Structure 1
Amino acid sequence: MCIDTYIAIHADCNKRNMENNRIQKFEMTSFGLKRLAITTMLIDHLAFAVLPALLNGGFIRLFGSIEVYNILHYCMRTIGRIAFPIFAFQIVEGIRNTKNIKKYLGNLLIFGIISEIPFDLAFFGVPFFWNYQNVFFTLALGMVAVLPMHFENNIFVKLAALIFAIAVSHFIKCDYGIYGVLTVVLLYLLKNNRIALTILGSLFTMIYQFSLTVIISFIAIYFYRGKRGKGNKWFYYCFYPGHLMLIYLLIKLIKI
């Protein structure tokens, strides 16, 4: 009887170890999430800016028909919906783990300024387009909304920061706008409950973006276990203005 019990316990332990090993294989690191985000963002931006340039430049033969173009455009834009929730989650993790909050917020604002001309050139064809601002400003405002929630106990300070961030995002018309700020806030509030974050985060973003692919964002976030992984943070900061400038140059090349 004792031998049977020992064998059963040993088998159960082996089964649990195998399950844990399988889960570990699917773990996402911080840099893994960033790679997923910038890849899907790039696909989205190519669909938004480059595909129409190809179509308008008379390259319809590349697609075969307008129907194929429409399907490709839709699929690429849909894939792009994966990116923003991951960027928003990275802000939450940054607030929790960074040693210098002011420097972190400053980096977001600096790269927002650096990225604005490439952003306007790539998407609007002019160096200064005041009616729409890039996503770095959205993420910075999301951070402004969340910081008092992290450091302050005064409910009025928390509400004031939230209202301020929402108002500014609406006034300057930054990418994703009020939804973007609220996404950062929601992910912060749910940061300690991965299941709730996955379910409620998916529902919230699906309502705004009308896309099921956002679920992929939250599945990836679910498997994040706080590990940084291998990578250079400055690459991900620089990738944003860099890829926008390359998109602009590619569009100019297509129009030659």
Structure 2
Amino acid sequence: MTTTTLKLLALVFMLIDHIGQFIPETPIWFRWIGRISAPLFIFCVIWGFSYTSNKRKYLTRMYLFGVGMAIINLVINYVFRYTYVSITNNIFTTLFLIGFTIFLMNQKEKKYLLGFIIWQFISTFLCLMIAELIPSVPYILQSHMFYGSLFGNIMFTEGGPLFVMLGVLFYVMRNNKKAFIICFSIFTIICYFLVRRYGYHMGGFFSYFVPFADYQWLMIAALPFMLLYNGKKGLGLKYFFYIFYPLHIVILYLIGISLRQ
């Protein structure tokens, strides 16, 4: 399978997942199937990032789309705040943070990576302070995820630190198929036990460490597809994903809230 084929498969699984997320009374197995999409997108990004000739441009584009998606979420959540149904989906920022972390890991001077780690603590404080601790901030700007995208914070992003860690793991193990299988399997098992032990039971800020449902372990089903990757790019369709992602989320969200009325 080429990168394009894997991306299209990920899009299909993601669409099924988001139908289950936004459309009421949808079978739970829609969400189960959707667990396959994120690992496939992450897998495609680490290979795309490895092959791209202009990594800075690649990261800049991903960051800007992440901020753009965060603004869309912010506006829609404010306009339809009376529905109590919100959008937090923003895989762009997660993929940007994975790529940026890998970029820093490959720099000769490790001070940049150290600076990024320090920035995570600073930006976490900023996200909390602006969204919660400053009374004068309007309701529309009281969103941790918005500032997470703006500041490049791994805590307040879709999938949280564990998804960023998964992307780094994929990158490190990408040329060793056996190690890749073992590490991804172990990672999935760890996620299963973390969700069962902590998950949403942690509550408040700490829930961002493990922001998954208890069926997140089903992402292991993405492994056979990744093992079929042939190292080729395929047709590309670079901007199709960038357009499809926000468009389908907004459409499904609007359909969902109309059905709830």
TM-score (norm 1): 0.70
Counterpart amino acid of 1:110?
A: L
Q: Does 1:134 align with 2:107?
A: no
Number of the residue aligned with 1:204: 187
Number of the residue aligned with 2:50: 96
Q: Does 1:110 align with 2:115?
A: no
Number of the residue aligned with 1:4: none
* Alignment map for 1:130-209 (pairs within 5 Å): 132=88, 134-150=90-106, 152-161=107-116, 164=119, 172=148, 173-208=156-191
Number of the residue aligned with 2:2: 29
Counterpart amino acid of 2:116?
A: A
Contact (CA 8 Å) 1:37, 1:84: kept in 2 or not?
yes
> Which structure 2 residue ranges, 5 or more long, are not aligned?
128-147, 149-155, 193-214
Number of the residue aligned with 2:198: none
Counterpart amino acid of 1:161?
A: F
Number of the residue aligned with 1:233: 238
Rounded to whole Å, the distance in 2 between the matches of 1:165 and 1:90 is 25
Number of the residue aligned with 1:22: none
Cα deviation for residue 164 of structure 1 reads 4.2
Rounded to whole Å, the distance in 1 between the matches of 2:65 and 2:219 is 25
* Alignment map for 1:215-230 (pairs within 5 Å): 215-230=220-235
Q: Between 246-255 and 173-182, report the one with greater CA deviation.
A: 246-255
Number of the residue aligned with 2:19: 46
Counterpart amino acid of 1:112?
A: G
Cα deviation for residue 108 of structure 1 reads 0.9
> Which structure 1 residue ranges, 5 or more long, are not aligned?
1-27, 56-68
Contact (CA 8 Å) 1:141, 1:165: kept in 2 or not?
no
Rounded to whole Å, the distance in 1 between the matches of 2:78 and 2:32 is 18
Change (3 A) 1:181 1:29: same
Contact (CA 8 Å) 1:91, 1:139: kept in 2 or not?
yes
Counterpart amino acid of 2:93?
A: F
Rounded to whole Å, the distance in 2 between the matches of 1:133 and 1:115 is 8
Q: Between 159-168 and 225-234, report the one with greater CA deviation.
A: 159-168
Cα deviation for residue 233 of structure 1 reads 1.2
Cα deviation for residue 231 of structure 1 reads 4.6
Which structure has the larger Rg over C-alpha atoms?
1
> Aligned-pair RMSD on alpha carbons?
3.1
Counterpart amino acid of 1:230?
A: L
* Alignment map for 1:3-22 (pairs within 5 Å): none
Number of the residue aligned with 2:256: 251
Counterpart amino acid of 1:137?
A: T
Over the matched positions of the two proteins, sequence identity in percent amounts to: 31
Cα deviation for residue 190 of structure 1 reads 0.6
Contact (CA 8 Å) 1:134, 1:175: kept in 2 or not?
yes
Counterpart amino acid of 1:140?
A: F
Rounded to whole Å, the distance in 1 between the matches of 2:31 and 2:20 is 6
Counterpart amino acid of 1:192?
A: N
Q: 1:197-250 CA distances to partner (integer Å, 9 max, x unpaired)?
A: 122113213432554532221221111121112351111111110101111221
